[in-house]
Amino acid sequence: MAFNKGIFDASPIEQAPCGLLSVARVTSWESDDEQWLRGYNYRVIGSPAINLLTASDSDTVTGGDVSTDTSKPIYLPGSGFTIVTKRTITLQNLSWEDPEAVARDIALAATQKAVELEFWEGPAAQVDGHDTAFLRKSGGATVLTTAAVSVDTALHLLEQSISNSPVGARGVIHMTRDVASELGSRILYKGDGDSATEDRAITRQGTRVVIGSGYTGNGPIGSSGAAASATNKWMYSTTTDIAVDLGQIDTVVSIKQSPVTATNDGQVILQRSASVRFDTSVWYAAQVTLPTT
């Protein structure tokens, strides 16, 4: 008697730890009323003026200015984007898997990487017309280096840049996985490995680190040496005020709706609205060089 080949199920998808969702304030929307998808304004610290005075006479203290730059606004524009997951399935496999359930698991796992790509590169932000901030936006980050430096030098420059927060807020340093590997023990892992959104990476000073699988390593648009390569990458610093909104995962095309082609394939298409924003009062970049392999 002839038998068809057996099929083993795929292993569960595990989201990468120390990604953007481990740091961001995440809001999951359960309704379809996601008006933020079409554009919004969000409030940030801005640039308050902070200075010291004497206790007795309220006299101005020389050298007592904590924050003097009042140029940054307290409201910034933003907009959402849509994450689409498509999965093509040979219809003969329908007897052993639920194609929509598998596609939904993929969409859930891929959300973090998709949001990280938008946060770093802003492909949707560049065409939405809302002037949304993203890490490598032209004219955004202050570049701390005049040429590529070692990862150690870049780390200490970015650590110090966080001190420029108007109120001395805690910061986050963003980097690609190869840069994080090169930093070695200068980055500490906090967690038990069971929750990718709760396990975190920090520097020795306690600064949170995002090691994004969706991060490209490209520098600010228009900067010299902005294009990432195997030996040329960029790092950024921001405040911890990073927020992500996530909509429901909706089925756009089910396996029953998709046409059966000559190859006997069907398709599941899911989509999810999302948005990512951050307080730009700390926004710095450093170019790094990595060793050749």
Q: What is the pLDDT of residues 6-53, one digit of tens each?
A: 666 777 888 888 999 999 999 998 765 667 878 899 998 877 889 899
Mention every residue, 6+ apart, whose C-beta is less than 8 A from residue 279: 44, 45, 238, 239, 241, 242
CA distances for 8 relative to 5, 11, 29, 97, 208, angstroms: 10, 9, 35, 11, 39
**How far is it, in rounded angstroms, from Cα 288 to Cα 285?**
10
Confidence of residue 1 (pLDDT cuts 50, 70, 90): very low
Specify the pLDDT at position 129: 79
What number is the average pLDDT over the span 252-262?
Answer: 67
Instruction: Give 186's pLDDT tier (boundaries 50, 70, 90).
Output: very high
Q: Measuring CA to CA, which residue among 188, 243, 291 is closest to residue 29?
A: 243
State the pairing for strand pair 171-175/208-211: parallel
Q: What is the distance between the alpha carbons of residues 255 and 259, in angstroms, rounded to a whole number?
A: 8
SS3 179: helix
Q: Is the pLDDT of residue 2 over 60?
A: no
Let me know: does 143 contact 287? Beta carbons within 8 Å: yes
**pLDDT given for residue 94 in this prediction:** 56
Tell me the C-alpha distance between 70 and 149, whole Å: 31
Amino acid identity of residue 7, one-letter, is I
| Both tokens assigned to 226 | 């902005």
Q: What is the pLDDT of residues 62-95, one digit of tens each?
A: 898 888 877 778 899 999 999 999 988 776 555 5
pLDDT digits (tens, 9 = 90+) for 53-63: 988 878 788 89
Give 210-247 pLDDT, tens digit per residue. 999 999 999 999 999 999 999 999 999 999 999 999 99
Distances (CA, A) of 127 to 79, 130, 161, 241: 11, 8, 30, 24
In this prediction, residue 154 carries a pLDDT of: 98
pLDDT band at 105 (very low <50, low <70, confident <90, very high): very high
* Residues 6 or more apart in contact with residue 129 via CB below 8 angstroms: 79
| Cα–Cα distance, 111 to 139 (Å, whole number) | 28
Max CA separation in the chain (angstroms): 100
Q: Please choose, from the candidates 282, 285, 210, 220, the residue with its C-alpha nearest in 3D space to the C-alpha of residue 44.
A: 282
Burial class of 132 by CB neighbour count within 10 A (0 to 12, 13 to 18, 19+) = buried
Confidence of residue 4 (pLDDT cuts 50, 70, 90): low
Q: What is the DSSP letter of 140?
A: T
What are the extents of the domains in the chain? Answer: 16-48+69-293
pLDDT for residue 7: 67
**In this predicted structure, what is the pLDDT of residue 111?**
96
Q: Supply the pTM of this predicted model.
A: 0.89
CA distance 160 to 174: 14
Select, from the ranges 76-85, 141-150, 257-266, the one with the highest average predicted confidence (pLDDT): 141-150
